[in-house]
Amino acid sequence: MLDAARPRVGGHRVRAAAVRLRRFASVGGEVLRNPTTLAGVTIIVAMVGMALLAPVLTEPNVPDPYQMPRDWGALNEPPGTPDHLLGTTQHGGDVLYGIIWGSRTSLRLSLIVVSVTVAIGVIVGSLAGFLGGRVDEVLMRIVDVFLSIPELIFALAIAAVLGPSFGNIILALAAVFWVKYARIIRGQVIHVKQNDYVDAARVIGDSRLNIFVKDVLPNSITPVAVQATLDMGNVVLIGAALSFIGLAEAGLAEWGVLVSQGQAGISAGRWWASTFPGLMVFLWALAFNLVGDGLRDVLDPRTERR
Amino acid sequence: MKTVPARAARPIPVKNRNLVTVRNLRRYFPIREGALQRVVGHVRAVDGVSFDVRRGETVGVVGESGCGKTTLGRCINGLLPPTDGGVYFDLGDDEHARLDALTAMPSEARTREQAAELERLDRTHRVDRLRGEAWRSYRRNCQVVFQDAFSSLNPRQLVKDIVGRPLKVYREASGSELMERVVGLLESVGLGRQHLYRYPHQFSGGQRQRISIARALALDPDFIVLDEPTSALDVSVQAQILNLLNDLQRERGLTYLFISHDLGVVRHMSDRIVVMYVGEIVEAGTRDDVFNSPLHPYTEALLEASPELAHDTDRRAGALEGRVPDPARPPQGCRFHTRCPVVTPSCGFEVDDAVRMLEGRGAGLDHLRGVQRRSAFEADLSFDDEEFAGLMVRVLEGPETPAEMREAMIGLTRSGSTVAIRFRDIDRVRLEEIRPAHVTSCILHTGQGLDPGDRHMREKNGG
Ligand SMILES: Nc1ncnc2c1ncn2[C@@H]1O[C@H](COP(=O)(O)OP(=O)(O)OP(=O)(O)O)[C@@H](O)[C@H]1O
Ligand code: SF4
Ligand SMILES: [Mg+2]
């Protein structure tokens, strides 16, 4: 046999990585073939780009760039005013600045909430599903309690108790959103662990931890990825709702706060101060929902053959 | 010219004759009901099974769906702990004899020393009791190939990782050595290097089963449970996999437990056959004995049901009728008596049979108020009124009721609207050796509790 046909260890790693990457790319390609998903991805890329480039796009406010700058000489300016492309608020805040830095706030909010809740939910749900028995019973009882209260009301109650601040909104949302992941992953784990490959791994003598990490988790996780994508949008929507009713600090460069503070002017014809940020919230939630749905179609376990 | 150096005398490892020893194995699954999930009964999937698998042979396990074949296999693989009894792996010949002596006696009859001896055997050889090094050694030597080639391979692992995994678990190899061994394993099942970096979904059913076999072979085991390894495959592919399994067995000195409901396949593969029915063994013997001169009517019926194997066409046993009874409430006496074409009055007729028979005749069971059991063989059936009760008695006494059932009924009295019915008390049947190494539980052969008149009756009925 030719020596060239025997790749070295490094070669094996590289090849395996290449195969996995190709598979990942093919999923990506399939997702993007759907025009609505593509639209969603485009919006997300634009918004995330805006968030990352915020300091380049606008002069950061000092000392705190996440506070709205105030131009006392330009209150309630309509869109198109020089230096204030999308107009200003009743406090002289530049709406465009609020939108650009607000995208940072939104991205931060959704990333923190989703990653924390996915982590908690996956840990709780997989412990319950994988270990079963008593552990399962106790954990799921707790989950049921959380589930029995409507999301928004629960988040509202927590935020209200903790007091108005953006950090507390993050906490409130995290307290609400982890439950869903726990439920999803538990159901998946219970289903996946019945597969013969799990028993085959047991017969080989592999450890429970290895079986969980190699066999159960990777085959249980896709619905979580879909839900997480959807929640990247939902978190911002509910977060905005909480800010809107005044649970965030006033003056924060955040879309919900802007909508809330701008709504007073709508009846006076000053539509821009709340419409533009409101549109952003809408677009953000829409985009992630489009991508989430697209992912679900491609990753649906019933149609998935990867 | 060089002299060949004399080989250093190495101790030849002593190989035990029996690799797997199953003794009085029971595996029950609790049935839970209601909000409190109370246990209301048990599915007796495996209900008192004993047999041996000797090194180098293939034991075929046959029986209809739901007879407990898979549960038996899973107990042997250590995937399910037994409810009672156990599976012993690689007993020494002396230990095997001791175990036989110890398990043959009822547990309360054992002396303190005997109990301690059994405990020692359990700890060192019973698969659900093994720990540490003994457990690892058992795990390496007892592998499995499942029926479902799609569910038995992790869809997210590459073939190289699936087949190499056992070697990694036991740190047998790593890096390029691991990869070469994986290639060797793939080649031994008819696959090759080009398949290393593929996912399971890129293979056909037959190829996937080859991957499963390669994984099972990775640790060079002594024993493999093959649970319907070809049932899901096309006939042409089936033959290839069976031949592969036979070749591997010869090359590697493997021992198989081959589970299948396809008698043709089992005959092709097995040295000895175990026939299971509702959690019990009803017949066991060499392949030729079981196929050429079956003893149990169930075996005969199975053979009859697979046309290419029916050896004796004017045999009375017809095709298998009816369904396998619910293993949560197995029939009394001989469990096959609800379907047996040559059933006798001594086979275990019980109240359930009478009720089922009345049901089958459409005999107005809407008017049956309740069944009050004193035992499986004795009960009061209460009806809406005397008229129906009288009708039932006439049906049970009349020609609509099979003669064997009528014969087994030792009491049938009506008082008012209640019918008291009583059958003979029949013990559970036991396996007995009828010919050398050929056992069955059918009382026509064992004679257990068989009334001489009943045998006569069977002959009179055309047996
Ligand atoms: N985990 C379980 N929980 C409850 N009941 C079970 C379980 N596994 C098997 N059973 C029951 O035990 C009985 C025997 O099942 P088993 O799978 O061992 O039969 P089998 O002979 O392999 O049948 P098949 O040919 O369909 O594979 C069946 O009645 C089945 O419903
Ligand atoms: S004991 Fe024999 S004859 Fe009686 S029911 Fe069972 S198989 Fe039939
Ligand atoms: Mg089975």
Q: Do A200 and B158 touch (CB under 8 A)?
A: no
Domain edges within chain A? 2-303
Q: Residue B143 — pLDDT band, cuts 50, 70, 90?
A: very high
Q: Which residues of chain B does A205 touch, with a Cβ-Cβ cutoff of 8 Å?
A: 135-136, 139-140, 166, 169-170
Nearest-neighbour CA in chain A from B176: distance (Å) = 5
Q: Which of A303, A162, A171, A298 has the alpha carbon at shortest distance from A229?
A: A298
With a cut of 90, say whether residue A300 has pLDDT above it: no
Residue A205 has its nearest CB partner, among B169, B193, B215, at B169
**What is the spatial distance between Cα A272 and Cα A87, in angstroms, rounded to a whole number?**
7
Quote the pLDDT of residue A173.
87
Percent of chain B with pLDDT over 90: 73
Q: Residue A304 — pLDDT band, cuts 50, 70, 90?
A: very low
- Strand pairing report for B272-277 and B418-423: unpaired
Quote the pLDDT of residue A5.
47
Which CATH superfamily includes the segment(s) A2-303?
Answer: MetI-like (1.10.3720.10)
Instruction: Please write the tens of the pLDDT for every residue from B226-271.
Output: 999 999 899 999 999 999 999 999 999 999 999 999 999 999 999 9
Alpha helices in B60-199 (DSSP H): 69-76, 93-104, 112-125, 132-141, 159-169, 175-188
Q: Residue B316 — pLDDT band, cuts 50, 70, 90?
A: very low
Instruction: Please write the tens of the pLDDT for every residue from A212-258.
Output: 999 999 999 999 999 999 999 998 888 888 888 878 887 888 898 88
Percent of chain B with pLDDT over 70: 91
Q: What sign has the CA pseudo-torsion B285, B286, B289, B294?
A: positive
H or E segment at B275?
strand B272-277
Residue in chain B closest to A17 (alpha carbons) equals B197
Lowest mean pLDDT: which of B5-14, B188-197, B337-346?
Answer: B5-14
**Which domains does chain B show, CATH number per domain?**
18-276 (3.40.50.300), 351-423 (3.30.1360)
Count residue pairs from A and B with Cβ separation < 8 A.
81
CB distance B209 to B233 below 8 Å: yes
Quote the pLDDT of residue B389.
86
Nearest-neighbour CA in chain B from A296: distance (Å) = 18
Chain centroid to CA A164: how far? 22
Strand, helix or coil at B21?
strand
Instruction: Please write the tens of the pLDDT for every residue from A111-129.
Output: 999 999 999 999 999 999 9
Q: Residue A1 — pLDDT band, cuts 50, 70, 90?
A: very low
Q: Which atom of ligand 2 is nearest to the CA of B297?
A: 7
Test site for ligand 1: of B40, B69, B80, B83, most ligand atoms within 8 A of the Cβ: B69
The most distant pair of C-alpha atoms in chain B lies apart, rounded to whole Å, by: 107
Q: What angle do CA B409, B413, B414 make, to 5 degrees?
A: 140
Instruction: Please write the tens of the pLDDT for every residue from B355-403.
Output: 888 877 765 667 778 889 999 999 998 888 888 888 888 888 988 889 9
Query: Which residues of B make CB contacts under 8 Å with A?
Result: 74, 77-79, 135-136, 139-140, 142-144, 146, 148, 151-158, 160-161, 165-166, 169-170, 175-176, 179-180, 193, 197-199, 201, 212, 215, 219
Nearest-neighbour CA in chain A from B275: distance (Å) = 25
Q: What is the side-by-side order of every strand in the sheet holding B142-145?
A: B142-145, B223-227, B255-259, B58-62, B272-277, B280-286, B438-440, B432-435
CA of B76 to the centre of ligand 3 (A): 14
DSSP secondary structure of B31-67: EEETTTTEEEEEEEEEEEEEEEEETT-EEEEE--TTS
One-letter amino acid for residue B46 of the chain: V
pLDDT, chain B, mean:
89
Instruction: Please write the tens of the pLDDT for every residue from A61-104.
Output: 888 888 888 888 888 888 888 888 888 888 888 889 999 999 99
Q: What does the CA dihedral B243, B244, B249, B252 come to, rounded to 10 degrees?
A: 150
Instruction: Please write the tens of the pLDDT for every residue from B201-238.
Output: 999 999 999 999 999 999 999 999 999 999 989 999 99
With a cut of 50, say whether residue B311 has pLDDT above it: yes
Quote the pLDDT of residue B362.
64
CA of B67 to the centre of ligand 1 (A): 7
Quickly tell me which residue has 């008596």 as its tokens.
B337
Give me A57's structure tokens. 């796009």
pTM flag (> 0.80): yes
CA distances from B438 to B10, B58, B276, B283, B450 (A): 39, 16, 14, 7, 20
- CA terminus-to-terminus distance, chain B: 77
Residue in chain B closest to A202 (alpha carbons) equals B79
Q: Do A195 and B169 touch (CB under 8 A)?
A: no
Residue A203 has its nearest CB partner, among B144, B155, B199, at B144
Question: Whose alpha carbon is nearest atom 3 of ligand 2?
Answer: B343
With a cut of 50, say whether residue A4 has pLDDT above it: no
With a cut of 50, say whether residue B2 has pLDDT above it: no
Q: Do B148 and A196 touch (CB under 8 A)?
A: yes
Counting Cα atoms < 13 Å in the Cβ hemisphere of B302 gives 30
With a cut of 80, say whether residue B13 has pLDDT above it: no
